[in-house]
Amino acid sequence: MKELQDLAQSVEQGQVQKVSGLTQQLLDSGVSPQTILNDGLIAGMTVVGQKMRSGEMYLPEVLQSASAMHGSLKILKPHLVREGAQSRGKIMVGTVKGDMHDIGKNLVSIMLQGAGFDIVDLGLNVSPQKFVEAISAHQPAILGLSAMLTTTMLNMKTTIEAINAAGLRSSVKVIIGGAPVSQKFADEIGADGYARDAVLAVDKVKQLLGVSA
C-alpha cells in the first residue's frame, strides 16, 4: 500500500508532522493500527537501523526518526489497546548504578520500540535493588543493562547477582551493552547475551525471544 510505504519513508526521514498526519489519515481510512505499526513504523525504523549500521545515519538523524515514530505511537496507542494488539514482548532497560550515560541505552530503547517491543526504561544510575523491584513489578521478558565506564561495568555483575539472590533470574533474560563491555565479559558475569550496538541489540532480543524478523 503506497500510503504505508510513504509512512515508513517519512519515519526514516524524521518528518515528525508528516508522520503524525499520515498515521491519522491511515486510521481514518480504516487501516488497522497493527498494520500501521508493522508496515509503517517498524518498517521505517528497520531501515533506520540498517542505515545506522552502515554509517549512513548517525545519532541526530536517528533521534529525529524516533521523534517521528513517538508522535505516531501517541496516536496509535489507544487504538492498539482497544484492539487488544499483542506486543512482541516487554523489555526493561537501565544504566547501572554509578553511570550517568544514557545515549546508548536510549538508542537501544528507540530501536527496540521501533521493532515493536514495549519498553520499560528505568533511566540512569539504577541500583541492583531497584532493578530487582522493577522486575518483580513489570515482569519483563528481557532486561538490558547499559554501562559506559570501565568502573561501572562491574555493577552489571552486582545487578545480576542481586537478581539471582532474589530468585528472579529464571524469569528474565539479561543482555548487556556499552563501550567497555564484550561477549567475554557477558559470559563471565552470567549474562544471556551481549550486543555491540543498538541494531544488534534488537537482533539479540529477537533471537532470545524466538521472534521472527
Partner 1 sequence: MNKRLEHALNCEVQDQVPFLPAIYEHKAWFVGATPSQVARNADLLTSAVLAEYERVQSDALIVGIDVYNVEAEAIGCSVNYYDGNDNSVPAIGSKGAVFQGTEGVASLRMPDPQKDGRMPLNLDAARNIVKLLGKEIPIRGAVSGPFSLAAHLAGPGAFFLLTMTQPDLAKELLKFASEVIKQYGKAFIELGCGVIVFDSHASPDLLSPQMYHELVLPPTQEIIRYFRGLGLQDVPLIIGGNTTRILNAYLETGANNILCDTKADVKEFLEKCSKARRAFRRNIDSSDFLEVNSDEVFHRALNSLEESGRYPGFILGSAVLPYGTPLSHLTAMREAIREYKKRASSV
Residues forming the site for partner 1 (CB under 8 A): 14, 55, 58-61, 63-64, 67, 97-103, 106, 123-125, 149-154, 179-182, 184-185, 188
Q: Which is nearer to partner 1, 172 or 189 (CB)?
A: 189
- Shortest distance in whole angstroms from residue 10 CB to partner 1: 15
Q: Which is nearer to partner 1, 33 or 113 (CB)?
A: 113
DSSP result, 115-140 = TT-EEEE--SSB-HHHHHHHHHHH--
- Shortest distance in whole angstroms from residue 201 CB to partner 1: 15
Dist CA 16 CA 187 (whole Å)? 41
- Shortest distance in whole angstroms from residue 115 CB to partner 1: 20
Q: Which is nearer to partner 1, 107 or 143 (CB)?
A: 107
Q: Which is nearer to partner 1, 36 or 66 (CB)?
A: 66
- Shortest distance in whole angstroms from residue 117 CB to partner 1: 20
H/E element, 93: strand 90-95
Report the DSSP beta bridge partners of residue 194.
Answer: 176
- Shortest distance in whole angstroms from residue 138 CB to partner 1: 20
Q: Which is nearer to partner 1, 2 or 184 (CB)?
A: 184
Residue 40 DSSP one-character state: I
Dist CA 69 CA 180 (whole Å)? 30
Cβ(115)–Cβ(171) below 8 Å: no
Dist CA 61 CA 84 (whole Å)? 32
Residue type, 197: D
